[in-house]
Amino acid sequence: EDQVTQSPEALRLQEGESSSLNCSYTVSGLRGLFWYRQDPGKGPEFLFTLYSAGEEKEKERLKATLTKKESFLHITAPKPEDSATYLCAVQASDYKLSFGAGTTVTVRA
């Protein structure tokens, strides 16, 4: 069974304090690993797709990396507007999608 585990569950940061979120996964035939951002009461918003180990993608203060067993989302010099829940998901060879429970990030000014 495909499994996605995110850690930590919650992360409180001071503005400008860089940190990393972890997503470890087991999947049968990885088609891709996704990172999404979700604000309270809203649907998830796409950030990145990573396809193979060694791949990296960046967007503003966010950088996602992928190994064969885990992915990291690095937040560099975060701002209060980066406060959200960050979701990791994997798509298996049968096109089924599995999400982790998410990491809730709070950035204080």
Partner 1 sequence: EAQVTQNPRYLITVTGKKLTVTCSQNMNHEYMSWYRQDPGLGLRQIYYSMNVEVTDKGDVPEGYKVSRKEKRNFPLILESPSPNQTSLYFCASSTSGRAPEQFFGPGTRLTVL
Per the structure block, which two tokens stand in for 66? 């992928």
Q: Is residue 93 part of the contact set for partner 1 (CB under 8 A)?
A: no
14-26 in b/e form (b: 16+ CB < 10 A) is eeeeebebebebe
Min separation Cβ 31 and partner 1, Å? 4
C-alpha 70/C-alpha 97 separation (Å) is 16
Residue of 25, 37, 44, 73 that binds partner 1 (CB under 8 A)? 44
Considering only the stretches 19-27, 55-63, 67-75, 100-108, report the one whose residues sit in contact with partner 1 under the rule CB under 8 A.
100-108
- Please report whether residue 89 would count as binding partner 1 according to CB under 8 A: yes
For residue 63, CA distances in Å to 28, 49, 87 come to 25, 11, 14
Asked if 86 is part of the footprint of partner 1 (rule: CB under 8 A), the reply reads no
| Site residues, partner 1 (CB under 8 A) | 31-34, 36, 41-46, 49, 51, 87, 89, 91, 94-102
